[in-house]
Amino acid sequence: MELLRYILRRTVLSAFVVVGVTFLVFVVAQVVPSDPAALYAGPRPTAEQIEKARQELNLDAPLPARFATFATAMASGDFGISYKSRRLIAQDLRAYLPATLELAVFSTGLALLIGIPLGVVAAARQGRWPDRIGSFGSIAAVAMPTFFLAMILQLVFAQWLGVLPLSGRLSREISISAPLPMVTGFNMIDALLAGRLDAFGDAFAHLILPALTLASYPAGVAMRLTRSAMIEILERRHVVAARALGLSEPRILFGHALPNAMGPALTVIGLSFAYALTGAVLVEIIFAWPGLGRYVSEAILAKDFPVIAAVTMVVTICYVVMNLLIDIAQALVDPRVALS
Partner 1 sequence: MKKLVQRLGWPGTIALAVVVLFAAAAILAPWIAPYPAQGAGAPNVAAKLQPPSAAYWLGTDHLGRDILSRILYATRVSLTNGVLIVAFSLLIGLPVGLAAGYFGGWIDEALMRGTDVFLAFPALLLAVLMAAALGPGFLNSIIAVAVTWWPWYARLARAEVLVLRGQPYVEAARLAGVSHPRIIVRHILPATGRPLTVQAALDVGPALLTAAALSFLGLGVLPPTADWGQMVDAGRKFFPARWWYSAMPGMTIFLVALAFSVLGDALRDRKGGAARASA
Tell whether residue 142 is a contact of partner 1 (CB under 8 A).
yes
- Tell me the one-letter amino acid at 103: L
Q: For residue 112, which of 189, 21, 226 has the smallest C-alpha distance?
A: 226
DSSP secondary structure letters along 69-128: HHHHHHHTT---B-TTT--BHHHHHHHHHHHHHHHHHHHHHHHHHHHHHHHHHHHHTTTS
Q: How far is CA 176 from CA 141, 173, 196, 291, in A?
A: 37, 6, 15, 18
Triad 242, 246, 247: Cα angle to 5°: 60
Tell whether residue 41 is a contact of partner 1 (CB under 8 A).
no
By CB under 8 A, the residues from 203 to 262 that bind partner 1 are 221, 224
**What is the largest distance, in Å, between two alpha-carbon atoms of the chain?**
87
By CB under 8 A, the residues from 302 to 321 that bind partner 1 are 303, 305, 308-309, 311-312, 315-316, 319-320
Q: Which is nearer to partner 1, 200 or 305 (CB)?
A: 305
Compute the least distance from the CB of residue 104 to partner 1, in Å.
Answer: 11
- Identified binder of partner 1 from the candidate list 296, 326, 331, 338, rule CB under 8 A: 296
Compute the least distance from the CB of residue 130 to partner 1, in Å.
Answer: 18
Compute the least distance from the CB of residue 234 to partner 1, in Å.
Answer: 21
Task: For residues 145 and 335, give the distance between their C-alpha atoms in angstroms, rounded to a whole number.
Answer: 38
Compute the least distance from the CB of residue 28 to partner 1, in Å.
Answer: 5
- Identified binder of partner 1 from the candidate list 69, 85, 171, 297, rule CB under 8 A: 297
Task: For residues 26 and 80, give the distance between their C-alpha atoms in angstroms, rounded to a whole number.
Answer: 13
Compute the least distance from the CB of residue 253 to partner 1, in Å.
Answer: 24
- Identified binder of partner 1 from the candidate list 174, 233, 286, 331, rule CB under 8 A: 286
Task: For residues 15 and 324, give the distance between their C-alpha atoms in angstroms, rounded to a whole number.
Answer: 10
Q: Which residues would be at the binding site for partner 1 (CB under 8 A)?
A: 13, 16-18, 20-21, 23-25, 28-29, 32-33, 139-140, 142-148, 151-152, 154-155, 159, 221, 224, 271, 274-275, 277-279, 281-282, 285-286, 296-297, 299-301, 303, 305, 308-309, 311-312, 315-316, 319-320, 323
